């Protein structure tokens, strides 16, 4: 079975635009909003007024209501009472499908896809770190914009696409944070770090390389990394390890996510044991990074925290092929279990 090739955000945008237009037209006909006389009243109209009204109507219909916002206080789950761990600090870490330095995108559809997404939760009281790996193809409600930044509506798409609908900088990151918050039942996210993949070599070398035993063979751009053979990855090898993906193989994004998880686990262990490298890490990747946090301060805050292989968490689900593109559908119960385990504590 063939896999999806790289998701074309502009093609998805056009499909979404057609979908939104069809829905709005259907609603207009259904509720008698179509006024033939007013439509034909003037040939001088450019259509901008009609589009603006449509976009406004869609935006208003798509805004979350109060019941969808983050639930504070006590909640019940499996017969017990739970409350949110208020001492948590949650951060979204993204790897962006862009080898260049971080700079503003050419238009509102060219922000780049977030090929790697990790939700990092720091327990400042319990002194522990947990990381949730998010499959790039996870289906979530994604906010759709046109190339000029006008809001069109919300549609279930791969979560990696949300970053593309923006400026490739802070706006794209903020929208990605909102998409992840929607996925995790509106759990609050304190900040984000987005790193263009072109900065991987510098990141890896800033901590003296990452040592691991690959669980997959990796062949990329003339480099070969052998399964089962321990290796300390240099910058180019780290890039290959994190970037390689056979787009003609079904589930290739899932396989690459497993490598991402292995690398991030080894990287965090090494960095947390030597937080003195925080400034060097920041200096190495600053040109490739967009962030809302003080990276050096954040790294230093993990100095006395624990992190093990068991603290790298995934959400169970199923990858399916829908036309040309893969979709990852989370198991609702598994997602709820992860949310409750990571972000909530039982009230005794």
DSSP string, 165-180: SS-SSHHHHHHHHHHH
The answer to whether residue 167 is domain-embedded is yes
Give the residue-averaged pLDDT of 336-348.
Answer: 96
The answer to whether residue 3 is domain-embedded is no
- For 8, the 3-state DSSP assignment is coil
Are the CB atoms for 181 and 189 separated by under 8 Å?
yes
The answer to whether residue 121 is domain-embedded is yes
In the chain, what is the straight-line distance between the N-terminal and C-terminal CA atoms, in Å?
50
Query: pLDDT tens for residues 239-269?
Result: 999 999 998 899 999 999 999 999 999 999 9
For position 108, which CATH number holds? 3.40.630.190
Q: Which domain holds residue 183?
A: 9-64+74-346
What is the pTM assigned to this prediction? 0.83
The answer to whether residue 4 is domain-embedded is no
Query: pLDDT tens for residues 154-200?
Result: 999 999 999 999 999 999 999 999 999 999 999 999 999 999 999 99
- For 210, the 3-state DSSP assignment is strand
DSSP string, 109-176: T-S--EEEEEEEEEETTTTEEEEEEE-TTBEEEEEEE-TT--EEEEEEEEGGGGGGSS-SSHHHHHHH
Within the chain, strands assigned E span 74-77, 80-84, 88-96, 114-123, 128-134, 139-145, 151-158, 191-196, 210-212, 218-220, 223-225, 231-233, 289-291, 312-314, 317-322, 325-330, 344-346
Domains in the chain: how many in total? 1
311-344 burial: b if 16+ Cβ within 10 Å, else e:
bbbbbebebeeeeebbbbebeeeebbebbbebbb
């Amino acid at each position: 079975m063939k896999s999806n090739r790289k998701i074309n955000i502009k093609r998805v945008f056009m499909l979404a635009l057609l979908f939104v237009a069809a829905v709005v037209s259907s609603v207009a006909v259904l509720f008698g909003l179509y006024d033939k006389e007013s439509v034909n009243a003037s040939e001088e109209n450019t259509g901008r007024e009609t589009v603006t009204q449509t976009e406004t109507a869609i935006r208003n219909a798509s805004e979350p209501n109060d019941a969808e916002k983050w639930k504070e206080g006590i909640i019940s789950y499996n017969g017990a009472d739970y409350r949110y761990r208020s001492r948590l600090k949650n951060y979204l870490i993204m790897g962006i499908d862009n080898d260049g330095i971080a700079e503003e995108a050419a238009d509102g559809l060219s922000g780049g896809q977030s090929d790697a997404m990790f939700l990092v939760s720091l327990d400042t009281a319990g002194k522990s770190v947990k990381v949730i790996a998010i499959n790039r193809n996870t289906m979530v409600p994604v906010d759709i914009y046109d190339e000029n930044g006008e809001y069109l509506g919300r549609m279930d798409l791969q979560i990696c696409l949300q970053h593309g609908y923006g400026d490739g900088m802070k706006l794209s990151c903020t929208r990605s944070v909102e998409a992840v918050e929607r996925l995790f039942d509106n759990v609050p996210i304190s900040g984000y770090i987005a790193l263009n993949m072109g900065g991987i070599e510098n990141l890896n070398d800033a901590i003296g390389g990452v040592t691991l035993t690959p669980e997959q063979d990796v062949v990329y751009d003339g480099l070969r990394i052998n399964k089962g053979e321990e290796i300390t990855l240099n910058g180019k090898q780290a890039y290959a390890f994190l970037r390689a993906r056979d787009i003609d193989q079904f589930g290739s994004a899932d396989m690459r996510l497993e490598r991402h998880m292995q690398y991030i686990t080894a990287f965090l262990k090494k960095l947390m044991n030597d937080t003195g490298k925080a400034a060097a890490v920041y200096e190495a990747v600053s040109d490739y990074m967009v962030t809302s946090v003080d990276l050096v301060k954040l790294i230093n805050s993990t100095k006395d925290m624990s992190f093990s292989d068991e603290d790298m968490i995934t959400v169970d689900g199923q990858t399916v092929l829908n036309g040309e593109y893969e979709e990852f559908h989370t198991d609702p119960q598994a997602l709820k279990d992860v949310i409750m385990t990571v972000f909530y504590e039982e009230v005794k």
